[in-house]
Structures are given as C-alpha cells and as structure tokens.
Amino acid sequence: MSDDYPSKQGKGGELHQQAETDANTMTTQQGAPIADDQSSLSAGQRGPTLLEDQILREKLFHFDHERIPERVVHARGFGAHGYFETYDSLADLTCADLFQRKGEKTPAFVRFSTVAGNKGSGDLARDVRGFAVKLYTQEGNWDIVGNNIPVFFIQDAIKFPDLVHAAKQEPDRGFPQAQTAHDNFWDFVTLTPESVHMLMWTMSDRAIPRSFRFMEGFGVHTFRMVDAKGKSTFVKFHWKPKGGLQSVVWDEAVKLNGADPDFHRRDLWDAICNGHYPEWELGLQVFDEAFAEKFEFDVLDPTKIIPEEQVPVRPVGRLVLDRVVDNFFAETEQVAFCTQNIVPGIDFTDDPLLQGRNFSYLDTQLKRLGGPNFTHIPINAPKCPMHHFQQDGHMAMKNPTGRANYEPNSWGKETGGPRENPEKGFTSYPANVSGDKQRIRSETFADHYSQARQFYISQTEEEQTHIADAFVFELSKVEKVAIRERMVAHLLNVDTALARAVAKGLGIDPLPNAAEPAVPPRDDLPASDALSILKNGPKRFQGRKLGILLSDGADGELLSTIERALKKEGAVGETVAPHSGEIRDDRGRAVAVTHKVDGGPSVLFDAVVVVPGKEGAKVLGALPPAQNFVRDAFHHKKFIGFNAQGQTLLDSVGIAYAKDQGCLSLKDEASVQAFLRQCAELRHWARG
Ligand code: HDE
C-alpha cells in the first residue's frame, strides 16, 4: 500500500458545496439526520412496529454486533499512550532505528492486563500481569509483549492451550472466575514440574500488585540485538518502575475486588489525569554466546532468569505514560500486539515458547478483529510510511492506488510501487541451524527447582510468609487431597521450611516424599536482592494515596497542613466522612468529601490519617464501616496518623497504637512531614 501514489480520481467531497453541518445533529451511519430517536415507527399508536423503520433496524443491527471476541487470555486490560525516550545511542549493539539517537522520542502504547479472568473480572485477582508495549518506531512497530514476572509456567508453546484451559474456569461448571485456586490448575501444574519456579512468583506478592505503576515488566525470552555490521548480542528486556515496587497484601486484594473491582484501571487513569505520569526505565541485560555457554541454565529456557548480580541491567531509556485513551474500545480493546512485530536490529532466538508465540499472536488477531486488515485500525497502524502490495480483505481502508499490485514489475517509479531495500530492510540473523527433526525437550531445560529456591531465599521473611500463605490458600480450595500432596512434594525440592509450612496449613501429616527431580536441585545459588519487592520499594510517598478519615468539626489547621504536605510530596489525599457532600471544619471551611465511609474503606489507600471532629469521632466510632476502616488499616500494617480526636476513635475500636511505631501522632507541620516520610516505607512490617 502506498500513501503517496498520484491519484487519477477526482476527490468526491470536492464535488459538493461544503454543507452547513451541525456538529450536534444526530445522524444514521449513512449520515442522514435523525428527527426522532425515542420511538420506533409503528402502524398506529399501539400497533406493530414496521419493518420499514430503517433507523431502528440500523441502530439494533449495530448494537447486536458491538462485541468482538474477548482475548483468550489477557482479556481484562487497560491501556495508555506515552513515549519512549532513548538515553544514548546504542549503535554499538543494534541498528534498531529508535536506539540510534540520544533523546529520540518514540510514541508508545502500553496495555496492562490480568491473564486468567474474563473481561469483566476484578483487577485484584492473584494472577500474572501482562505488560505489553507497542513502540511506533520510524522503521515499523516493535511490540514487546511481556509480563510482570520474568519467567513462565511452561517451556514449550505446545503446552499453552493446556495451561490456559487448566487455569481458566473449569469447563463443566464455568467457574471459578479469575483465579487459580481450583483443582484443574493445580492438577496441571503439579504434573508439570517446569511450572514450579513460576508458581513461586505467582504465589508471591508479585501477583497482587498495588498498581500497574509500581510493577516491573519483563520481555521474558532472550532476544537478539543486531548491529549494522550484523553482529548479534543476546538481550533480556526489563522495565523498572521509577516509583519503586509495591504490592498489596492478600486480605486487601480480596477486599479491593469488592470495594473497587476497577482499582488498577482507575489508579492509572487518575494518575495520568492528575499529571503524575507513570514512568519506567528500559533496562537491558546484555550477554554474548560465551556467557550463554557458561551460564548454569539454558538462556533459551523461559522458566529461568539470569540474576542481575550476574548480568547487570543497563538502563537505556525511559517509558512515560502521559495520555489516557479517548475511547476504551477503539484503542485498548482493538490494540493487537504480536511478538512477531520486530524491527531491523532486533531478532528472535530459538526459545521454543517464543517461536510458538510468533505464530499465535497474528493468528488470534484474525479471529478477534475479524480480518487481515487490523493494521488499518489507527491504534495498530505504524506511524512511519508503509508501502506494500497487500490488498483487499475485510474492511480494507486503504488499498494501493497505482497501476501495479505485484512485483517484480516494469512500471516506472511513478506507478510501479515500492521496491525492496537490501540495505535498510530486515535481515534475519543468520544463526546456524541444523539437526534431526524430533519432538524432544532439551536436557539443558531439565532443572526445575534450583531457581525456584533461589527466588524463595531472596525474599524477606515477611515475603516468605506471604508465599507460604498463598500456597495454603490456593491449595485449600483444591478438593483432591492427592493434588495438594503433590505440590508439597515439589516444594520439598525447593525449601523444606516452606514445604513444612504449607503442609501444616493444609493439615498434611506426615509429609509426602519429595518429588523425583529430573536432575538434582542445587542449593548453592546465592540470594538475589533484585527478586524481592520489599528490597526494591519506593524512596518516597510520591504518587501514593492517603485516606483522610474526618467529620464535621475536624481541625482545619491540621487539614490544611496535611493538604500542603501532600502536595509538596506529590501524593494524593482523599477524604472519607460519615456522609457524602462536604463537611465543615472547626473554622467553618467546607471540605469536599471524596467517599462516604461505607464506600471508602482503608484498602483504597496506602496510608491513613484519622482526624475527625470531637462529636464526629463518637459518630464514626459507632459506625461499623469506620471501625473496619481503622481496624483494616492497622491489620494491613499501614501507617496511621492521628490527632487527639482520632485517638478517641482508635481507643473506641481497641487499636493498640500506644507502643506502635507505625501509629504517629499529628500535631503540626513537622509531625505531618515526619509522618509522610515514614509512609515511604509503605507498611510497618514490625507490627505483629
Ligand atoms: Fe501470550 N497470548 N501467549 N504470553 N500474551 C496473548 O494474544 C500465547 C505468553 C502476553 O495486552 C494472546 O492478542 C501463547 C508469555 C500478553 O493485548 C494469544 C503463548 C508471555 C498478552 C497469546 C503465550 C505472554 C498476551 C491472546 C505460549 C509473557 C496480552 C490475545 C507460547 C512474555 C497482550 C492476544 C495485550 C496475549 C498466546 C505465552 C504475554 C492467544 C501461544 C510467555 C501481555 O495470542
């Protein structure tokens, strides 16, 4: 297709006098103005509707076809626009156009998602999160279709349909929705030991992020970068959030799904609309064949990481999301990511999962978007010139306009259309490939436990407890005891204390024998701090949200101090009160109420302050949602700020704040600032 063929046709629109169009007049799809959109055309006042009613028929016809198939996986997602900015030229590594010039800005669209749940499921499911980035480079669209976890459940694409069938609703009953806490999932994964490393990640708090803004992204597979001379280097892609890592605790996740099932979408939407643009650094782990040869595991095995201590992550640019979508369906729903979308300078490796994905994504778009022309949809269209001879098909928006639609052709430059470009064009890296055709898993993929253990020992004690609790929770929903035991048998190859804790929670006694490993698990891999969320948290409270529980008569001066401090910190405050509308503080100033207390539980916030008026403290103390507000904040180990009136409320609910370093008394500017500094730690883990 060419945008710049000379056209022989007259422009239809120019034939008309510019019509006086009223932008507000409702029309049919054909552009005919509509006089009455309230009643269908009928024979008589109470008579039958007439088939002749073209306006009714067009409206219903279109409505009846509004839905497209939701994604088989990653159905629930949320996207935003932004840009990628290159820090420095990477010409020494790759000829990819977007990496050639320091400061180059490349438009980007990112879609985050959960995997297992349907389109309408809750945001806080325990699940992997998709982290798919489309970079509209000047030499084509490059899609990095990654996850927030750097490894995957399976090593070979042929197992993907089984994994997904097992994870989604059970086929006979159609539930459970958006969760892996059921027999089929655990049956499959316990019979598939290569899943064990990934299970450690999905049972960790990585699978319940606080926000898309505070999670990492990973390309997962090893890719290649190829320079202008054809030299190839292996790379792994990392997205590191500038705001630090943060997750919720499980009890919060459960409650958030009820309080605000759109918690993650709303968070991203609000952050961008408030000008708190989320930002990630793109980091590369770069290594050569020699490293790949000597590394303990196979770099083509997507169930393995390369620890950052062994190959440091080199920051090469930043991704900033600064624009919400105009329309969810047109952009977020219709965006079509394909792992096969790479650009000159980037290439695949033989990772068998990646190879299978390269077939699957293009194929799925055909089903989902209904034809081969989905690249004509603006969100999918490259922002660089396109010239090719592909034509026709459903919904073709732009066909080639010249005489030639084939090549080679002998039509001249004017009408002969595009030509191949051996200098600039994509050239596959000429990797040497040979071998017998066979269905076999490489023996270099056989170690399924050593990195699972490495992940576990890299966690803080608190994080380790969460992992054990998550295994217990999920497996406690599994009916078949043999499946539970099989998981404990695998965990015995990971860490005995973990296996014991899980067995205890499940009432399994005695312990089963350890699963038979294909190769002996190693216990000499050192801990890696990069794998822990808590060791990579934020440095500031910036971008986080404070819940302010108040009532009429609240201390106005203190409220203003809190407001100022939040603004300075770049954090957001939302007020929670016994009633909606506004409250009057003790100076008579009206303060807008964001949430009536029933609709504003403390799980919505990263920290809370309890600063009601004198009478209000009594009213709140008698309200169960207000009691739950403070009890949950305390139980979820959040920082709690309070003044004298707040103290009465905490007393009435029985919160033991006196010796708790995470409960801070707020009096003046200095104490409020000290409180917000503390809040950067996000939780007071020392609270029992
Ligand atoms: Fe996907 N995956 N996947 N996947 N995946 C899809 O494509 C598939 C895998 C990932 O926001 C589908 O457009 C196969 C790994 C993301 O639109 C489908 C295999 C990773 C998204 C598909 C995998 C991912 C998808 C469903 C095993 C992390 C959402 C709808 C070989 C590196 C993209 C669609 C978005 C979506 C197939 C494994 C990430 C069916 C066959 C590993 C983030 O094509």
What is the structure's pLDDT at 12?
Answer: 46
Residue 164 Cβ inside 6 Å of ligand 1? The answer reads no
> Is 369 touching ligand 1 by the criterion CB < 6 Å?
no
Q: What pLDDT digit, counting tens, does each position of 480-526 carry? A: 999 999 999 999 999 999 999 999 999 999 999 999 999 999 999 99
> With a 6 A CB cut-off, is 356 part of the ligand 1 pocket?
yes
491 and 468 Cβ atoms separated by less than 8 Å = no
Residue 397 maps to a domain: no
Which residues fall within 8 angstroms of residue 238, CB to CB, at 6 or more apart? 150, 216, 217, 218, 219, 282, 283, 284, 285, 313
Phi, psi of 213, deg, nearest 5: -65, -20
The answer to the question of residue 559 being in a domain is yes
Exposure string of 41-71, with b = 16+ CB inside 10 Å and e = fewer, is eeeeeeeeeeeeeebbeebeeeeeeeeeeeb
DSSP string, 298-336: -TT-TT----TTTSPPEEEEEEEEEEE-S-IIIIIIT--
Q: Mean pLDDT, to the nearest integer, of 85-92?
A: 98
DSSP state of 653: H
Average pLDDT of the residues in 229-234: 98
Residue 485 in contact with residue 461, Cβ under 8 Å?
no
Atom of ligand 1 nearest to the CA of 145: 43
CA-to-CA distance for 663 and 634, rounded, in angstroms?
Answer: 9
Beta carbon of 361 within 6 Å of any ligand 1 atom: yes
Which residues, other chains included, contact 586 with Cβ-Cβ below 8 Å and sequence gap of 6+?
553, 554, 555, 556, 613
442-465 exposure pattern, b = at least 16 Cβ within 10 A, e = fewer: eeebbbbbbbbbbbbbbbeebbbe
- Residue 636 included in any domain: yes
In eight-state DSSP terms, residue 247 is B
User: Which CATH number fits the domain that encloses residue 130?
Assistant: 2.40.180.10
Residues with Cβ within 8 Å of residue 329, at least 6 apart in sequence = none
What atom in ligand 1 is closest to the CA of residue 160?
27
149: containing domain: 54-162+214-284+313-376
Report which DSSP code applies to 282: E
In a domain, 386, yes or no: no
Distance 128 CA to ligand 1 centre (A): 11
In this predicted structure, what is the pLDDT of residue 567? 97
Q: Which of 360, 376, 392 is the last residue of a domain?
A: 376
Domain membership of residue 43 (yes or no) is no
In a domain, 167, yes or no: no
| Residue 7 in this model has a pLDDT that exceeds 70 | no
Residue 492: closest CA among 476, 480, 508, 479: 508
Residue with CA at minimum distance from ligand 1 atom 11: 111
DSSP letter at 70 equals P
Question: Nearest residue CA, atom 39 of ligand 1?
Answer: 146
- Averaged confidence pLDDT in the chain: 96
Look-up: residue for tokens 């965006």?
Answer: 335
Split at pLDDT 50, 70, 90, the class of 19 is: low
Q: Is 223 in the pocket of ligand 1 (CB under 6 A)?
A: no
Closest residue to atom 22 of ligand 1, CA basis:
361
**633 touches 608 (CB < 8 A):** yes
How far is the C-alpha of 513 from the C-alpha of 559, rounded, in Å?
A: 60
Give the distance (Å) from ligand 1 centre to CA of residue 227.
Answer: 28
Spell out the residues 6+ positions from residue 582 whose beta carbon is closer than 8 angstroms to its own: 590, 591, 592, 593
Question: Does 147 sit in the ligand 1 pocket, CB within 6 Å?
Answer: yes
Which of 322, 345, 376 lies at the terminal end of a domain, its last residue? 376
626 CA to centre of ligand 1 in angstroms: 42
Per the CB < 8 A criterion, the answer to whether 578 and 599 are in contact is no
Residue 335 Cα: closest atom of ligand 1: 17
pLDDT tens-place string over residues 570-581 = 999 999 999 999
Query: Does ligand 1 have an atom closer than 6 angstroms to the CB of 527?
Result: no
Spatial contact of 6 and 414, defined as CB atoms under 8 Å apart: yes
- Sequence-ordered list of residues with C-beta below 8 angstroms from that of 12, at least 6 positions apart, any chain: none
State residue 414's pLDDT score.
Answer: 85
Confidence (pLDDT) at 365? 97
The pLDDT of residue 299 is above 80 = yes
Contacts for 654 with CB less than 8 Å, ≥ 6 apart: none
Q: What is the pLDDT of residues 400-430, one digit of tens each?
A: 888 999 999 999 988 899 999 999 999 999 9
Measured CA to CA, the distance from residue 145 to residue 400 in angstroms comes to 30
Contact 366, 318 (CB under 8 A): no
Residue 72 near ligand 1, beta carbon < 6 Å = yes
Residues 6+ apart with CB under 8 A from 504: none
CA of 303 to the centre of ligand 1 (A): 16
* 367 domain residue, yes or no: yes
Asked whether residue 1 carries a pLDDT value surpassing 50, the answer given is: no
Q: Does a structural domain hold residue 421?
A: no
Find the 73 Cα to ligand 1 centroid distance in Å: 7
pLDDT at 14 (0 to 100)? 54
Number of domains making up the chain = 2
- 15 falls in which pLDDT band (50, 70, 90)? low
Q: Which of 141, 147, 148, 493 is catalytic?
A: 147
Q: What is the pLDDT of residue 688?
A: 79
- CATH (domain of 546): 3.40.50.880
**Model pLDDT for residues 336-390, shown as the tens digit of each residue:** 999 999 999 999 999 999 999 999 999 999 999 999 999 999 999 999 999 999 9
Ligand 1 pocket mutation pick from 68, 71, 348 by most atoms within 8 angstroms of CB: 71
Task: Indicate which atom in ligand 1 lies nearest the CA of residue 365.
Answer: 13
Note whether 51 and 40 are within 8 A (CB).
no
Residues paired with residue 106 on neighbouring β-strands, in sequence order: 84
- Mutate which of 301, 303, 361, 380 for ligand 1 pocket (most atoms within 8 A of beta carbon): 361
- State how far the alpha carbon of 319 is from the alpha carbons of 80, 238, 477, in Å: 11, 11, 40
Closest by CA to 682, choosing from 568, 587, 586, 606, is 606
Indicate the residue among 356, 376, 396 that finishes a domain: 376
Q: How far is CA 389 from CA 20, 375, 378, 426, 559, in A?
A: 39, 14, 19, 17, 65
* pLDDT band (50, 70, 90) for residue 22: confident
Assign 6 a pLDDT band (cuts: 50, 70, 90): very low
Q: How many angstroms does the Cα of residue 480 sit away from the middle of ligand 1?
A: 30
Using a 10 angstrom Cβ sphere, with 0-12 exposed, 13-18 middle and 19 or more buried, the burial of residue 305 is buried
What is the 198 CA–ligand 1 centroid distance (Å)?
A: 16
147 annotated active-site: yes
The 10s digit of each residue's pLDDT in 511-524 is 999 999 999 999 99
Q: What is the pLDDT of residues 525-571, one digit of tens each?
A: 999 999 999 999 999 999 999 999 999 999 999 999 999 999 999 99
pLDDT at residue 16, as a whole number:
56
Distances (CA, A) of 463 to 74, 194, 456, 500, 635: 26, 23, 9, 16, 16
Give, using CA atoms, the residue closest to atom 19 of ligand 1. 357
Q: Which residue has the CA at smallest separation from atom 27 of ligand 1?
A: 157
Q: How far is the CA of 574 from the centre of ligand 1 (A)?
A: 36
Instruction: Summarize pLDDT for 617-670 with one digit per residue, the tens.
Output: 999 999 999 999 999 999 999 999 999 999 999 999 999 999 999 999 999 999
SS3 249: coil
- Verify whether ligand 1 is closer than 6 Å to residue 157 (CB atom): yes
Given the CA of residue 74, which atom of ligand 1 is nearest to it?
A: 29
Average pLDDT over residues 22-45: 95
**Contact (CB, 8 A) for 441 and 303:** no
Q: Is the pLDDT of residue 21 over 60?
A: no
Gap from CA of 273 to ligand 1 centroid (Å) = 29
141 is catalytic: no
Ligand 1 proximity of 236 Cβ (cutoff 6 Å): no
CA nearest ligand 1 atom 30, residue: 71
Q: Does 80 sit in the ligand 1 pocket, CB within 6 Å?
A: no
Decide if pLDDT at 154 tops 60. Answer: yes
Q: Which has the closest alpha carbon to 34: 43, 26, 46, 44?
A: 26
Nearest-CA residue for atom 6 of ligand 1: 73
Ligand 1 pocket residue status of 360, Cβ below 6 Å = yes
| Best residue for ligand 1 mutational test, from 76, 78, 145 (most atoms within 8 Å of Cβ) | 145
CA angle 91, 81, 83 (to 5 degrees): 25
